[in-house]
């Protein structure tokens, strides 16, 4: 189907206020518009598939039942309709729906297909983003050298006001000896210096 968030509302049922005739019919008028809360009508915009919505025309009449997608509408007027979404009929012999025909909004297979496609597309995008992050992150780490470490130090802000958790906080340093970055925990204690009594006494 398509990666789109088609609209759906609860308990909408109405009738056609004008006919939707045969293969040439791509617009009509509804007696009442579908609403989100009983009062606010939804609309569809031709260029924005995320606003489209599905209707079932003549849902209780097997011989002329038809699922349509409304691509453009304003209030009760629908001006661009995709006919026979299920492919039940030949393109040249679509049902003729007269004024008074029931229209109902129900969950149809196309809603699920649209959502599945949307999820699959987003998963693919997320997978790509994670892969790019891993690749770019590894490259950034590999690019750390003495020069870039110096630049990071020079660009660092004053940290004298931070509260240090000596059990977990550490600083990152670049070890030029083996060209690797090292993390040094704040809790590490400098080697103690043994003071010889003779030096203290000065004698």
> How many residues would you count in the chain?
203
Q: Is the pLDDT at 190 greater than 90, yes or no?
A: no
- Match 């970055």 to its residue by tokens: 181
- pTM attached to this predicted model: 0.60
134: confidence class by pLDDT, cuts 50, 70, 90: confident
Distance of alpha carbon 128 from alpha carbon 135, whole angstroms: 10
Specify the pLDDT at position 2.
78
CA dihedral 13, 72, 7, 62 (to 10 degrees): 40
Distance of alpha carbon 174 from alpha carbon 151, whole angstroms: 12
Q: Is the pLDDT at 109 greater than 60, yes or no?
A: yes
∠85-88-90 over CA atoms, to 5°?
100
């Amino acid at each position: 189907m398509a990666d789109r968030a088609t609209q759906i509302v609860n308990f909408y049922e109405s009738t056609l206020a004008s006919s939707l005739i045969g293969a040439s019919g791509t617009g009509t008028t509804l007696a009442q518009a579908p609403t989100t809360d009983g009062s606010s009508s939804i609309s569809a915009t031709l260029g924005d598939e995320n606003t489209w919505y599905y209707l079932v025309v003549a849902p209780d009449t097997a011989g002329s039942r038809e699922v349509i997608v409304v691509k453009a509408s304003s209030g009760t007027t629908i001006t661009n309709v995709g006919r026979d979404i299920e492919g039940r009929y030949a393109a040249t012999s679509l049902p003729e729906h007269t004024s008074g025909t029931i229209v109902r909004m129900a969950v149809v297979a196309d809603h699920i297909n649209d959502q599945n496609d949307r999820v699959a597309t987003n998963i693919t995008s997320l997978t790509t983003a994670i892969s790019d992050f891993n690749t770019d992150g590894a490259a950034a780490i590999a690019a750390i050298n003495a020069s870039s470490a110096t630049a990071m130090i020079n660009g660092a802000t004053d940290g004298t006001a931070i509260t240090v958790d000596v059990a977990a906080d550490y600083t990152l340093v670049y070890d030029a000896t083996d060209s690797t970055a090292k993390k040094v925990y704040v809790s590490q204690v400098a080697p103690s210096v043994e003071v010889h009594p003779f030096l203290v006494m000065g004698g």
